[in-house]
Amino acid sequence: MDAREVVDRLVKVGVIPVIRYDSADDGAAAVHAALTAGFPTVEITLTMPDAVELIRDFARRAESHQVIGAGTVWNEADCDRVLKAGARYVVSPGLVPGLGAAVHAGKAAYLPGALTPGEIAAALRDGADMVKIFPASSVGPLHLKSVAAVFPGTRFCPTGSVSADNMEDWFKAGASVVGIGNTLFAAAAIRERDHKRLVAQARELLDRVALIPR
């Protein structure tokens, strides 16, 4: 599977669950629930303890239709670690010059963060397969609509305060996929390890995004 195929898979599902918790156990519970519910992907962020080990564990167990991504990757050393662990796409909150080449050398897709037209152009020059609009909460869907108009054919993934309640606005503005973080799962369900409830919440989101024209 090459970078384009990975991005196509992300676009097809419409939502990337962004997994970021204070403990690896909480993160593992969220990843397991998302994959069980039918999400073909999760983004495991390096801000979480033992994130690389989680990537390795879930990548090793992933089924043929599932891809595990790594988030909050800020340098080539961490990029190398997550690629060796099995990450199929690498996400950074902002542009890291040269990181795109490192990601592509590892046969993975690159999703750097950007906000302004200048940053988006720089991300594309550095090899972005999809541009992460971050922090999306600081600009809103109208910003994406404006920048998408001058970057035709570019795939965008807004992340940051995107939720099930506002994701349709982002798709209408030009998002190809959205990243949804901890609002995906109820904190109590994570704390109580209520796997059945967690899976139900993830399936509800999948059902909702499937009804949105894209």
Write out pLDDT tens, residues 63-73: 999 999 999 99
Distance CA(111)–CA(134), nearest Å, equals 11
pLDDT exceeds 90 at position 74: yes
Per-residue confidence band for 1, with pLDDT thresholds at 50, 70 and 90 = confident
Name which of 176, 189, 183, 187 is nearest 205 in CA terms: 183
Q: Catalytic pick from 63, 84, 107, 132? A: 132
Maximum Cα–Cα distance across the chain: 46
Q: pLDDT tens-digit profile of 130-159?
A: 999 999 999 999 999 999 999 999 999 999
**Side-chain-facing half-sphere of 202: CA atoms under 13 Å:** 29
CA distances 152 to 10, 13, 172, Å, are 19, 21, 15
Other beta carbons within 10 angstroms of residue 165's beta carbon come to: 9
Q: pLDDT tens-digit profile of 160-189?
A: 999 999 999 999 999 999 999 989 999 999
Task: Give kind and range of the element (H or E) at residue 19.
Answer: strand 15-19
Distance CA(63)–CA(83), nearest Å, equals 17
Tokens 């020059």 identify what position? 125
Query: Would you state the pLDDT for residue 141?
Result: 98
Residue 132 catalytic? Answer: yes
Q: Catalytic pick from 5, 12, 43, 192? A: 43
Average pLDDT, the chain: 97
Question: What domains does the chain contain, in order, with CATH numbers?
Answer: 3-210 (3.20.20.70)
Share of the chain above pLDDT 90, in %: 99
Q: What is the pTM of this model?
A: 0.96
Residue 84 catalytic? Answer: no
Distance CA(45)–CA(166), nearest Å, equals 23
